[in-house]
Amino acid sequence: MVRKRQIPPAFCTFVLVFICIAMFLVETFMGGSENTATLVKLGAMNNYAVVAGHQWWRLITAQFLHIGIWHLVSNIVMIYYMGLIIEPMLGHWRFLLIYLLSGVGGNLLSLAFGSDKSIGAGASTALFGLFGAVIALGIRHRANPVVAYVGRQALVLAVLNLIIDIFLPNIDIYGHIGGLISGFLLAMMSGDRLGKGYNTKLRVIAAAIAIIYIVLTVRQGMVISF
C-alpha cells in the first residue's frame, strides 16, 4: 500500500512564520534585533545600500527581519491568521509568490519615497500584500458571502492600520501602501482556487499597472539624497 502524506493547507504560512522566528534568533545572537549594524549585515532595507551598493536582494531579505520582539510578534500573529484564510484559497505557490512579491512591491515604494537614511525591516509589507489579495478575492467572488465578508474585513483592517500608521513614529507607511497595492494587483493576475478568476482584460490591465508601478518606483528610487 502506498501512503501519501498530505501537505497542510497552510504549509507555506507555517514555513514563513518559522523563518521570521529563526531570523529573529539569528539577529539576537549577532548583536540584537535593534542593533543597526546587525540589521544592515543581515539584509535590512537601506536606500543607500540598495542603490549605491547594488544590493537589490534587500527588497526580499528585509521581509524576514524584525526590530524588537513586539514587532515580530504582531507581524507573525497576523501572518498566521491571514495565511490560514488565504493560502487554501490561492494554493501554496500563488500564496508564496504573492507574499514575497508584495513585500518587494512595498519595499520599492519605500525606496522611491521613504527616507534614504533610514533602516527598514519587517514582514508588514508582505502582510499588507495579503490584505490586498484578500480584498481582490472578495471583490471577484462577491457572490460568495463568506469570501465577500472576509474581503470586507481585510479592507477594514488595512484602512485602520494605515490610519494608525499616520500617528505612529518610525512606521514605513509607504511600504504598507505599496504592499497593499502589489497584493491586490498580483491576486488579480494570478487567479485562485475558488473558481473563475478575473477576466483576461482585467488581468492585462493589472499587469500593465504593475509594470508602470515597478518602472516609476525604481526610477524614483534611483534618486538618492546624500
Return the active site residues. 124, 176
* Measured distance CA(207)–CA(20) in Å, rounded: 30
**Does position 2 have pLDDT exceeding 60, yes or no?**
no
Tell me what pLDDT residue 8 has. 74
**pLDDT, average across residues 12-33:** 96
Q: What are phi and psi of 192, to 5 degrees?
A: -155, -175
Buried b / exposed e along 151-173 (16+ C-beta atoms within 10 A): beebbebbeebbeebeeeeebbb
- pLDDT tens-digit map of 70-125: 999 999 999 999 999 899 999 999 999 999 999 999 999 999 999 888 999 999 99
Please provide the average confidence, as pLDDT, over all residues in the chain: 92
Per residue in 148-160, pLDDT (tens digit) is: 999 999 999 999 9
pTM recorded for the entire structure: 0.93
Domains of the chain: 11-221 (1.20.1540.10)
